[in-house]
Structure formats: structure tokens, C-alpha cells
Amino acid sequence: MLQVLIGLIIIAAIIVGGLYIFRKTTTNRVNDIKAKKYRLVELHVEQELQSGLKMSLTGESLEEFKQLQTSFDQIRNEQFKAIDELADNIAREIKGINVIKTQSDVKMLDNLVNVAQHDVTQTRETLNDFKKIDQKHRQAVSKLEKKYQELRKQLLSQNFKFGDSIDNLEDELSKLEDEFDKFSTLTTNGDHASAKEILATLEVNTNHLESLISVIPGLYKKLQSDYADQLAELKAGYTKLVGDDFNFNDGNIETQIANVETQRVAVLGKLADLDVDAVTKADETIERQIDHLYELMQTEIDARPQVTEIMPQVSKFIIHAQNQNHELMLELDRLGQNYTLDHGELETARGLGEQIRQLEKDYQNDLNAIEAKQAVDSDILARQQEALVQLEQIEKQQTEINDSVSGLQNDERRAKETLRQFAIDIHGIKRHIEGLNLPGLPKAYLEYFFVVSDEIKKLDSDINKIKINMEDITKQLLIVQSDLETLEEQTNDVKDSAQLAERLLQYANRLRENNAEVEAAVQKAQKLFDEDYDYSASLETIATVLDKVEPGSYKRLEDNYYGK
């Protein structure tokens, strides 16, 4: 029983302690929330609103301000009051034991204060916006008033820079000043909502007018002064150039100058109407046309002294090329009687002659045009510069043709000397082979000997014709040279094979009586030597059997023959 009592006492103590802690923490939290609300009151927003009345607002702005005051009165009279009443209720509830309801009311109290804080902050921000726009509009009044005074002063003091545009510029400025007066009145009266719309339009239109005032003087100067002076200079320059016998491919230059002048006057009219975009595009076109006209005239002016300089050069070059081609044709004709010219030298030279005649014709036409004062100098300059290039190419081709045929006589002389040496060489080969006193010569050797001999005879016949082909002669010389070298090699082979075979047969005769194989080989080798004239086969037959009967004997006899 005692234990139960003690347990109940402990539970009661815990409950009492818990309630104490709950009341303490809840009281602290409520005090914090009330302090938060008190700080909102301490902002004295009502005083800020009272000072806002000094802005002397009217119209839509005044209505918006009144709504702002009404909203804050609701915050102060209703929201703040509800917060205070709920805080008092919570203070009473804390003394009881309805913990759940107390906690719910504390949350509600916190929400009410947060909402009030948000509404107060929004009220102050809106009020601050009113002050800012009031300040902005009043500054804009001062700024725009000063700017319009400056623009008016600029238009009055520099009206000569704007030409006929000045009237429309002043009209635009007057319209802006009228709108500015409306804006200034609305701002002074505090109707900032209406003033805001006018200010936006004023700023755009003012910037546009400033841009016009900035751009127009430059455009006007170019159109009224610069282009007018340039066109006058072009007209006077063209007249003088025509008087100095200058001609132009573009024959309507005077008309072009007049057309540009018409455009200039028309564009000045657009500038007076303040159509700057159209004027800017037209200005670029006029400038481009004027530059083109200057370029046309300058091209002919620059070409005249160059034409004066180049014409004598071309004349001398043409005469030189004609003389060169005449001499080349004579030389080719002379050489053509004795030599075959198979690379089209004559045809090429004739073609060069035709080119020279055409260049001379063009030159004469240009010279006649100059004398008749009908020449377009730039055209003549281009044509004669190209003529110089062609004449240089012609001279190069003439030189190449001359170089290719100038050595024909020397080539013929050297070819005859080489032919004479070939005849000596083959005669020497013949005497050498005959001096061996062989029973006969191999058929293949004789055939090759006569082939080379016939080649030399043909070469001799071709080189002694009335008209010879040196290119063909040169090819024959190379063939005969090669074949003679081969014939000399074959002659040496026949000589060496025959003499070695004789030595080996003499050596084998000492062995034949006691060796039937040697006897048979000697007879076979002797037959190949005496009847078939196949000295290499004879040598191979006897050498093979000697090496078999007496190894190393062939090598010893061969080394002895070659003097090793």
C-alpha cells in the first residue's frame, strides 16, 4: 500500500514538473512572439504614412496611397488587436491543464504575427516606391527641362548646320516641350501614375531627337557641301580631260554626274523630313557613285604617261621580233635543204610570225587611235602590256628553235667522224680475226659481224644523202656503237676459246695413247674445232676430260694462257 502511495506521489510530481516546464517554455515563446509584434509597432509605419502625405499626391497615385493607408489601418486596428487578444487568452490557458489547445493557440499566434510582419513590410516597400517615383519624377523634371533648354539653344545657335531640317527639328522639340509641360504638371500635382506613362514616351522621343540632332549635321555637310564640291570638281575635271583629248569607255560620264546631282538634291529633301534611315542608305550610294567617277577619270590620267612610255618600247620589240623571225625562217629554210626538221620548227616559226603580225596590227590601230585623239588610254595600256608579255614569250620560243637547229652542222661533222672510226674499228676486228688463221668462224659470229657491217654501210649511206635526218642518224650511231662493242666481245670470246682449245688439245695428245676416254674426247674436240668451228664447245669437251683424268690441269693451263 505504501509503495502504491509512493508511486502516485512520484507520478504526481512528474506531472506537476512537466506542467511547470510547459508553462515556462510556452510563456517564453509567447513573450518572444509578442516582442516580434512589438517591434512591428515600434516601426511607426503610421508616421511614415503621415510623412507620405507631404508628397501632395493626386489622381490615381492618391487613390493608391489611400488604399495603402486603409490596408495599414486594418493591420493596426484588426491584426494587432487580434494578436493581443489571443496572447491574453494563452496567458490564461497556461494556468490550466489543456496543453493541446494551448499549443494550437501558440501556433496561431505565431502565424498571425508572421502575416502582420509580411503586410507591414509590404506596406513600407510600397510607401518607399511612392517616395522613389516621386523623387525620380521630380529629378526627371529638372533633367528634361535642362536638356530641352540645351537642345533649343543648340538649334538656335547652330541652325546653319541643319539646313532645311531645322524647321522639323524645332517642331519636334516643341512637341516634346508640350508633353514635358504635362509631365511636369502631373509630377507637381503628385499624379505619378499618369506621369509615369508620359515619362516613358518622353524619354524615347527625346533620345530620338538627340540622335537626329547628332547625326543630321554630318549628313547635311556631306550632301550640301562635300558632295556638291566633289560633283563640281568632277564636272570641271571631266570638261578639262575631254579638252585634253581624254576618252572613256563609259561615254555618259557627264550624264552620270548630273544624275548624282539630282539624287543629292532629292536626298536633301528627305533629310529635311528627318528620314535619316533613308538618307543614310542614299548617302552610301551617292558616295560610291562619286568614288567610281573619280576612279574612272584617275585611271585614264594615270594611264596616259604609261602609254606614252610603253608605245615606243612595243614598237622596238615588234621590229626586233620581226627581224628575229625573218632570220630564223631563212636559217630554217637553208637547213631544211640539207636536214630533216621533224619537230615542226618551220610551222612554229610561221605561227610566231602570224602572232607578230597581229600584235603589229593591234599596235598600229592603237597608234592611229592616239593620233586621231580617239584613244582610251587605259585600254591601250592593258593591250600593249599584254603585247609585251606575248613578245617576250615569242622571243623565248625563237631562241629555243634556233638553239635546237643551230648545232645540226656540228652534229653532222661529229657523226661523220664517229662513222669513220666505226669503219676503222670493224676493219680492225676483221684483220684481227683473220690473223688467227682459224679453219673457219662460227655461223652466229659471222651473221652478227655482217649485221654490224651492214649497219655501218646503211649509216654511211644515210649520212651522205643530200637531205639527212640528224635525229635518225644519232639513233643509228648509238645502235652501231653498242653493236660494235658486242662484236668486239664476241671476237675476243672466239679468239680465247680457239687458242685455249688448241693448247688443251696439244696437252691431251700426250695422254691419249694410254687413255681411251682421252682419245675419244680429243677426236670429238678436234672435229668440233676443224669442221664445226665451234671453238667454245671444243674447249669444253677437252677441258672436261682433262680435269677428270688430271684434276686441276685445265685451271693451270687457263691461268697460264691469261698470264696469271
Rounded Cα gap, residues 249 and 255, in angstroms: 14
Distance from chain centroid for Cα 86: 82
Q: What is the DSSP secondary-structure string of 273-300?
A: TT-HHHHHHHHHHHHHHHHHHHHHHHHH
Burial (0-12, 13-18, 19+ Cβ within 10 Å), 502: middle
Give the phi and the psi of residue 339 in degrees, each rounded to 5.
-130, 150
CA distances from 483 to 73, 136, 343, 476 (A): 134, 115, 28, 10
Q: Which residue type occupies 286? A: I
Give the phi and the psi of residue 468 in degrees, each rounded to 5.
-115, 155
Residues 341-376: tens digit of each pLDDT: 777 788 888 999 999 999 999 999 999 999 999 999
Task: Determine contact, residues 144/180, Cβ cutoff 8 Å.
Answer: yes
Task: Determine contact, residues 436/447, Cβ cutoff 8 Å.
Answer: no
Q: Write down the pLDDT at residue 56.
A: 46
Q: 73-77, 107-111, 173-177, 485-489: which has the minimum mean pLDDT?
A: 73-77
Q: Say yes or no to pLDDT of 128 above 70.
A: no
Pick the CATH number of 18-151 from 1.10.10, 2.115.10, 3.30.420, 1.20.120: 1.20.120
Nearest to 441 by CA among 487, 504, 481: 487
% of the chain surpassing 90 pLDDT: 27
What's the chain's average pLDDT? 78
Q: Write down the pLDDT at residue 15.
A: 47
Q: Say yes or no to pLDDT of 476 above 50.
A: yes
The confidence band for 494, taking pLDDT boundaries of 50, 70 and 90, is very high
Q: 26-40, 418-432, 435-449: which has the minimum mean pLDDT?
A: 26-40
Give the phi and the psi of residue 273 in degrees, each rounded to 5.
-85, 5
Nearest to 226 by CA among 259, 260, 269: 260
Q: Write down the pLDDT at residue 12.
A: 47
The dihedral sign for the CA sequence 422, 423, 426, 429: negative
Rounded Cα gap, residues 324 and 392, in angstroms: 12
Instruction: Name the grid cell of 60.
Output: 490615381
Higher-pLDDT residue of 241, 134? 241
Please give the model's pTM, rounded to 2 decimal places: 0.54
Residues 150-164: tens digit of each pLDDT: 667 766 767 687 788
Q: Write down the pLDDT at residue 337.
A: 73
Nearest to 390 by CA among 370, 360, 366: 360
Q: Write down the pLDDT at residue 514.
A: 80
CA distances from 419 to 324, 327, 359, 416, 448 (A): 35, 32, 47, 5, 18
Q: Which residue type occupies 253? A: I
Three-state DSSP state, 468: strand
Q: Say yes or no to pLDDT of 506 above 60.
A: yes
Pick left, alpha or beta for residue 344 (phi over 0 → left; psi -120 to 50 → alpha; otherwise beta): left
Instruction: Name the grid cell of 244.
Output: 585634253
What's the angle, vertex CA 272, arms to CA 271 and CA 278, rounded to 5? 25
Higher-pLDDT residue of 255, 189? 255
CA distances from 445 to 313, 451, 497, 508 (A): 69, 10, 13, 27
Burial 451-464 (b: 16+ CB within 10 A, else e): ebbebbeebeeebe
The confidence band for 486, taking pLDDT boundaries of 50, 70 and 90, is very high
Task: Determine contact, residues 171/276, Cβ cutoff 8 Å.
Answer: no
Distance from chain centroid for Cα 347: 45
Q: Say yes or no to pLDDT of 201 above 70.
A: yes
Task: Determine contact, residues 513/471, Cβ cutoff 8 Å.
Answer: no
Q: Write down the pLDDT at residue 16.
A: 43
Instruction: Name the grid cell of 367.
Output: 597608234
The confidence band for 328, taking pLDDT boundaries of 50, 70 and 90, is confident
Q: 11-20, 354-363, 422-431: which has the minimum mean pLDDT?
A: 11-20
Rounded Cα gap, residues 277 and 208, in angstroms: 12
Q: Say yes or no to pLDDT of 50 above 80.
A: no
Task: Determine contact, residues 205/183, Cβ cutoff 8 Å.
Answer: no
Q: Say yes or no to pLDDT of 561 above 60.
A: yes
Task: Determine contact, residues 49/178, Cβ cutoff 8 Å.
Answer: no
Higher-pLDDT residue of 374, 208? 374
Q: What is the DSSP secondary-structure string of 254-268?
A: HHHHHHHHHHHHHHH
Total residues found in the chain within this entry: 564
Burial 222-238 (b: 16+ CB within 10 A, else e): bbbeebeebbeebbebb
Nearest to 456 by CA among 487, 499, 492: 487
Helix axes 276-338, 377-406, angle to 10 degrees: 30
Burial (0-12, 13-18, 19+ Cβ within 10 Å), 389: exposed
The H helix count followed by the E strand count for the chain is 18, 0
Q: Say yes or no to pLDDT of 57 above 50.
A: no
DSSP-derived secondary structure letter, 79? I
Rounded Cα gap, residues 564 and 549, in angstroms: 23
DSSP-derived secondary structure letter, 339? B
The dihedral sign for the CA sequence 132, 138, 143, 147: positive
Q: Write down the pLDDT at residue 13.
A: 47
What is the chain's Cα-based Rg?
A: 63
Our CA dihedral for 366, 367, 371, 377, rounded to 10 degrees, sits at 50
Rounded Cα gap, residues 408 and 271, in angstroms: 83
